[in-house]
Structure 1
Amino acid sequence: MKHAWTSAVLLTTLSQQAHAVQYLNTEQAQKALFPQATGFTEQDWLLTPSQLAAVEQLAGQRPNNPHVRVLKAQQGQAVLGYVVLDSVIGKYDLIDYAVGLNADATVKQIEIMAYRESHGFEIRSPAWRAQFAGKSASHGLRVGDGIANISGATLSCTHVTDGVRRIAAVAQVMLRP
């Protein structure tokens, strides 16, 4: 009896882990977001208390950390944009993603880097991710208002969208005068 119970627990654990997929590492995400970049420079944006409040007002949520790791994409001396790596909780596990931002703080593109949930992996589809292009923190970055939901992936859609909106708000506060 004890052996059957142990086997059932092991099978359940293995089946849950089998859904974890690493799609891109940091370097691959950078190149996917900015294929024409000749280099990436790491930056650390430190948000002041007033900037944190501005982000919260724009995004409807406050960043978890005032330090934001940013990778500036460059082609020679020209700044192409920025890459921000982030994670949000799906239903139970983290979703790692990268946001490519244009120099004007609008979203260029997003990439799903790792997905650990058993359902909702459809958020990685090019059609769903393409909805983010050109959007800003204050325009069209909400599920049901600019971003379509995917049946069976509601929490993943909502949480990634909220995360992208937060990152776009941080970029707007940091990049726009």
Structure 2
Amino acid sequence: MNLKTGLALCSALAYEQVHAVQYLSVEQAQKALFPEATNFAQQDWLLTPSQAQDVQKRSGQMPRAMHLRVFQAWQGEHPLGYVVLDSVIGKFDLIDYAVAIGADGAVRQLEILTYRESHGFEIRNAAWRAQFAGKTVLSDLQIGHGIANISGATLSCTHVTDGVRRIAATAQVVLRK
């Protein structure tokens, strides 16, 4: 192999590994998750150690962080729910997503913000994301139990589902639902 061919091969391999796509900004996700909202107010959640333990007990996972970036959705004076921002590892890279939690504490919708993997982007499909609507931490919120897997995107599906279950448990703990 000559130098030119080697450089072309290295370039092609490097290109294959870089697939970061930002689908939505935070503001776009807010509007997609709560289209009827007239405004969003940042209302971050700061977990205490006992709340973190409660989240682990309910979801089977420790919170990724004690501080969660959260926006409360409002329609005039009426609170609609919350947009919780989170990230999970796919196979190698982070997947940024937003979860809408309704005023009742149930998952309302899921949006993928940024996807950095070369495979598994199918988790952005509306039909797959729609499976989360109405789920709580007490629901079947696991791959194979309430949430279907996507062949070729198993790790992305599993990790996002685990993240949504953790967010649902966190909302239950913070909101006392």
> Which TM-score applies when normalising by structure 2?
0.95
Q: What are the superposed Cα offsets for residues 124-177 of structure 1, whole Å, 9 maximum, x if unpaired?
A: 111110100000012111001110111111101000000000001100001126
SS in 1 for 2:152: coil
SS at match of 1:119: coil
Where do 1:123-142 residues align within 5 Å? Answer: 123-142=123-142
1:165 matched residue in structure 2: 165
Kindly state the Cα deviation for residue 103 of structure 1 after the two structures are TM-superposed: 1.2
Aligned positions of 1:83-162 closer than 5 A: 83-162=83-162
CA RMSD, aligned part only? 1.1
Q: Which residue of 1 aligns with 2:8?
A: 7
Counterpart CA distance in 1 for 2:103 and 2:58 is 18
- Which residue is 2:17 aligned to? 16
Q: Which residue of 2 aligns with 1:38?
A: 38
Q: What code does the residue aligned with 2:112 have? A: I
Aligned to 1:64: 64
Residue type at the aligned position of 1:154:
T
Q: Is the 8 A contact 1:71 1:83 kept in 2?
A: yes
1:165 counterpart SS class: helix
| Deviation at residue 69 of structure 1 after TM alignment | 1.1
Alignment gaps of 5+ in structure 2: none
Q: CA deviation at 1:8?
A: 1.6
CA apart distance, 1:5: 2.2
Using the TM superposition, name which of 2-11 and 125-134 deviates more: 2-11
Partner SS, residue 80 of structure 1 = strand
Q: Could you tell me whether the CA contact under 8 Å between 2:123 and 2:150 is conserved in 1?
A: yes
Deviates more, 1:113-122 or 1:56-65: 113-122
The CA distance in 2 between the partners of 1:22 and 1:64, in whole Å, is 22
Alpha-carbon deviation of 1:62?
0.5
How high is the sequence identity, in percent, across the aligned residues?
Answer: 64
Tell me how many residue pairs correspond in the alignment.
176
> For the Cα contact (< 8 Å) 1:103–1:175, is it kept in 2?
no
Query: How much does 1:16 deviate?
Result: 2.1
2:75 alignment counterpart:
75
